[in-house]
């Protein structure tokens, strides 16, 4: 049970999906008894779920071959195209090299546009939710099992939520957000002094990247890509502290993405 009795849309969705604890389910049912509007919404969602189950339930029970996993298909395609892409990049580098070494150096340290979009989304989410006092997250860290199952389902990835207690940070909780190409998970952590960091995670396919620092105002972001996840850790903390948190997070998330 949470500290407050506020019933959110996330609670209603989890109720329909059968993912609430017995205590939270009882709280939602009590709320529905007094709220005709939400009761009607939930009934409509349940009817829709029942219809979809009747029409396509047998398909959901069929396990597709591992080779047909969307992220694996994209990764295989990228590998097939990598030789051509590398040849073109090498040729372009030679042309640009003749135009001036300084400009080439600038290009080599500039992150890709897709990575900058990911970092910008993560910074915006941190700026919006980290200062929040009453509702910084949708699901609290005390409901870790539900949070893991919910976010894994919505991101279509097997997530292992990082445990950062060894670095002095406890899990506040998480929420689901829209991203440029998919859904995104935002996990929030806090230390004993009240400093907060957020970990922004989106599903991505193929490749591994080194950790990269980006600074914007007082915020510093550490971004990287694991095999199936794009990740950005954001906070107003020293770089060495953020790097330790990022490395710990990487170990957990990378293990989960390969399950």
* Same domain? 182 vs 228: yes
Residues 71 and 146 both lie in one domain: no
pLDDT digits (tens, 9 = 90+) for 50-68: 887 777 666 666 666 666 6
- Residue 31 and residue 78 share a domain: no
Chain length of the chain: 259
- Tokens for 78, please give them: 């990228």
Strand partners for 139: 174
Both structure tokens of 64: 């597709």
Alpha-carbon distance values, 171 to 71, 95, 205 (Å): 28, 49, 27
Confidence (pLDDT) at 106: 37
Residue 1 domain-assigned (yes or no): no
pLDDT of residue 228: 84
CATH number reported for the structural domain that contains residue 149 in this entry: 3.30.200.100
* C-alpha closest to that of 213 among 187, 232, 189: 232
One domain, residues 95 and 140: no
The most confident of 82-91, 120-129, 177-186, 198-207, by mean pLDDT: 120-129
125 lies in the same domain as 253 = yes
- Number of domains forming the structure of the chain: 3
Is 90 exceeded by the pLDDT of residue 130? yes
Question: What is the pLDDT confidence band of residue 182, given thresholds at 50, 70 and 90?
Answer: confident
Are 21 and 80 members of one domain?
no
State whether 102 and 115 are in the same domain: no
C-alpha span between 108 and 106 (Å, rounded): 6
> Where are the strands (E) in the chain, listed by range?
139-140, 169-178, 183-191, 196-203, 212-216, 219-225, 229-235
Same domain, 235 and 137: yes
At 159, is the pLDDT very low, low, confident or very high (cuts 50, 70, 90)? confident
Of the ranges 108-117, 127-136, 192-201, 245-254, which one carries the lowest mean pLDDT score?
108-117
pLDDT, tens digit, 9 for 90 and up, residues 66-103: 666 666 666 666 666 655 556 566 556 555 555 444 43
Asked if 257 contacts 226 with a C-beta cutoff of 8 angstroms, the reply is yes
180: pLDDT strictly greater than 50:
yes
Domain boundary residue among 78, 106, 134? Answer: 106
One domain for residues 250 and 177: yes
Q: Is the residue at 3 inside a domain?
A: no
> pLDDT band for position 218 (50/70/90)?
very high
Buried b / exposed e over 15-24, threshold 16 CB at 10 Å, is bbeebbeeeb
From the CB of residue 230, how many other CB atoms can be counted at a distance below 10 Å? 27
Task: Please tell me whether the overall predicted TM-score, pTM, comes out greater than 0.75 for this model.
Answer: no
Report d(CA 251, CA 246) in Å as an integer.
Answer: 9
Chain mean pLDDT for the chain? 81
Asked if the structure places residue 2 within a domain, the reply is no
Does any domain span residue 40? yes
Both 43 and 162 in one domain: the answer is no
Instruction: Write the pLDDT tens digit of every residue in 17-43.
Output: 888 999 999 999 999 999 999 999 899
Domain that holds residue 36: 9-61
115 with 242, same domain: the answer is yes
- Asked if residue 170 and residue 90 are part of one domain, the reply reads no
In a domain, 72, yes or no: yes
The answer as to whether 4 is a domain residue is no
């Amino acid at each position: 049970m949470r500290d407050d009795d506020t019933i959110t849309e996330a609670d209603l969705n989890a109720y329909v999906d059968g993912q609430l604890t017995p205590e939270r389910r009882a709280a939602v049912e009590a709320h529905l008894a007094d709220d005709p509007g939400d009761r009607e919404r939930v009934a409509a969602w349940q009817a829709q779920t029942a219809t979809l189950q009747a029409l396509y339930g047998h398909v959901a029970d069929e396990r597709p071959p591992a080779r047909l996993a969307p992220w694996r298909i994209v990764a295989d395609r990228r590998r097939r195209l990598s030789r051509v892409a590398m040849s073109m990049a090498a040729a372009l580098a030679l042309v640009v090299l003749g135009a001036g070494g300084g400009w080439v150096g600038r290009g080599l340290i500039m992150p890709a546009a897709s990575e900058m979009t990911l970092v910008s989304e993560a910074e915006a989410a941190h700026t919006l939710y980290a200062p929040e006092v009453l509702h910084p997250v949708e699901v609290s860290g005390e409901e870790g099992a539900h949070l893991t199952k919910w976010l894994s389902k919505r991101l279509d990835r097997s997530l292992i939520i990082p445990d950062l207690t060894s670095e002095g940070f406890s899990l506040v909780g998480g929420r689901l957000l829209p991203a440029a190409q998919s859904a995104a998970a935002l996990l929030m952590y806090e230390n004993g002094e009240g400093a907060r960091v957020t970990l922004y995670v989106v599903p991505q396919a193929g490749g591994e990247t080194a950790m990269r620092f980006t600074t914007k105002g007082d915020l510093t972001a550490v971004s990287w890509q694991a095999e199936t996840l794009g990740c950005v850790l954001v906070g107003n903390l020293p770089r060495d502290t953020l790097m330790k948190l990022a490395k710990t997070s990487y170990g957990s998330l990378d293990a989960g993405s390969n399950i």
